[in-house]
């Protein structure tokens, strides 16, 4: 048996903790002379592998929670963008109505009518620019959230892959490994 004892199951909260315990076990193992190989206690390695199998669903649930949170954030962003767009459209329509009403009352004077029309067109263009700007800002925000989520998920996936890569291949000695109960 090796000098380092892996922590108990209650102390290993995540797959990363278990992988750390596996690295500690390998680091404390005796070296086989003239080779890069080490001698480890098979039971300890199998126990750590089983703990990884048990802990993985927790990490996967955390990833699922992150995805659900991303979906909620995207939905909230879309609603906010729609609300902003709707308010801007209503404001633009109100402004246009006001400008048209103003223009109708001053129709007698050609210079005033022209100025009111130009003002109405300017307000419409400004409102449309605000709508476009707010939509672009909402899209940028959603893109940033998605990009951060993608980066986080890639880090988690890389960690899981590193954990899997660091595990030895299953023994083919005929010894049956305990099956995980689903």
Residue that the structure tokens 């315990």 belong to: 21
Q: Do 14 and 62 form a contact (C-beta atoms < 8 A)? A: no
- Locate 58 and state its tokens: 């927790």
* pLDDT tens, position by position, 32-91: 999 999 999 889 999 988 888 888 877 778 888 898 999 999 899 888 888 888 888 888
Sequence-ordered list of residues with C-beta below 8 angstroms from that of 61, at least 6 positions apart, any chain: none
Does residue 12 surpass a pLDDT of 60?
no
* pLDDT tens, position by position, 125-161: 999 999 999 999 999 999 999 999 999 999 999 999 9
- Locate 123 and state its tokens: 């307000």
Closest-CA residue to 46 (of 160, 179, 180, 177): 177
- Spatial distance between the Cα atoms of 19 and 31, rounded to a whole number of angstroms: 20
Beta bridge partners of 30: 39
């Amino acid at each position: 048996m090796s000098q380092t004892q892996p922590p108990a199951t209650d102390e290993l909260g995540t797959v990363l903790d278990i992988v750390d315990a596996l690295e500690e076990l390998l680091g404390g193992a005796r070296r086989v002379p003239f080779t890069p190989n080490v001698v480890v206690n098979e039971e300890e390695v199998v126990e750590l592998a089983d703990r990884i199998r048990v802990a993985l669903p927790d990490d996967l649930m955390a990833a699922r929670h992150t995805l659900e949170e991303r979906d909620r954030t995207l939905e909230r962003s879309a609603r906010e963008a729609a609300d902003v767009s709707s308010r801007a459209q209503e404001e633009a329509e109100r402004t246009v109505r006001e400008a048209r009403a103003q223009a109708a009352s001053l129709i007698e004077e050609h210079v005033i009518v022209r100025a009111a029309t130009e003002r109405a067109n300017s307000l419409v263009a400004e409102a449309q620019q605000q709508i476009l700007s707010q939509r672009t800002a909402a899209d940028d925000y959603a893109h940033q959230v998605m990009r951060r989520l993608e980066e986080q998920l890639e880090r988690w996936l890389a960690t899981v892959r590193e954990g899997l890569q660091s595990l030895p291949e299953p023994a083919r000695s005929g010894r049956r490994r305990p099956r995980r109960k689903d």
